[in-house]
Amino acid sequence: MRLLVIEDNDELAGLLAQGLRTAGYESDRFSSVEDARIALSTVSYAALILDLGLPDGDGLDVLRELRRRSDSIPVILLTARGGLDDRVSGLKLGADDYLVKPFALEELLARIEAQLRRPGQLLGASLKVANLSFDTRERRCLIDDTPQPLSVRETTVLEHLMRSKGRVVSKRQLEDSIFGLSEDVGSNAIEVYVHRLRKQLSEKGSKAQIHTIRGVGYLISEDQ
């Protein structure tokens, strides 16, 4: 699950990146309104963490644009102490929550989780395909209710497929969810991950299968 962090303070951004990663989120971080726009229009993020005091413009403009085009991505604002006006206008414009600096990393994580748990959002009950299930809270895979060890990449791919149960996921989408904008992929990495994941799952007795839809992408479903 990939989050977008817009924050111009390098130190804070570093801490956030680390904390988010430990909590199992991947993130891209940019420090300007301009980059935020580009990122949002390129990759599909699970949530946006938006600092309001940016050098090249008003973060609220980003929020306003998102909502104008009916993008309901959860947005959590970071505001400096006392920026009451910002908070109020932020919430009016459709922000979902806000935190006043300084804040506890754990609190941010709790707020993110709360947002992702909203109906239609990304954290919820466990996803299930045949005897394979994925616990979105703990971010782990279970076969017949036994937890299975998977690498970080394998877990990410599986999560994406399970969230899109019944729909085809393109290779491009998988690339975006794994690498975001930060890195390039110059290889068949996704194919390799899918291969490794298939191997793990079949070795461990999963009855769910990852099908290839040639020219389109991958699809997870029960057997056959």
Binding site for a second copy (CB under 8 A): 18-19, 22, 24, 37-38, 40-42, 44, 69, 102-107, 138, 149, 151-152, 167-168, 170, 172, 213-217
Q: Residue 188 binds which one of DNA, a second copy, none, with CB within 5 to 8 A depending on kind? A: DNA
Contacting residue, 15, 80, 104, 152, with DNA by CB under 7 A: 152
Contacting residue, 92, 195, 205, 222, with DNA by CB under 7 A: 195
DSSP 128-169: EETTEEEETTTTEEEETTEEE---HHHHHHHHHHHHTTTS-B
Q: Angle of helix 59-68 relative to helix 33-42, nearest 10 degrees?
A: 30
Half-sphere exposure of 12 (CA within 13 A, CB side): 19
Kindly tell me which of 138 and 222 has the beta carbon lying closer to a second copy: 138
Q: Does 182 bind DNA (CB under 7 A)?
A: no
Alpha carbon distance 134, 73 (integer Å): 22
CB-count exposure of residue 109 (10 Å: 0-12, 13-18, 19+): middle
CB of 38 to a second copy, least distance (A): 6
Question: What's the chain's length in residues?
Answer: 224
Q: Residue 184 binds which one of DNA, a second copy, none, with CB within 5 to 8 A depending on kind? A: DNA
Kindly tell me which of 43 and 189 has the beta carbon lying closer to a second copy: 43
The separation between CA 34 and the C-alpha centre of its own chain, rounded to angstroms, equals 21
Binding site for DNA (CB under 7 A): 149, 151-154, 171, 178-179, 183-189, 191-192, 194-196, 198, 212-217
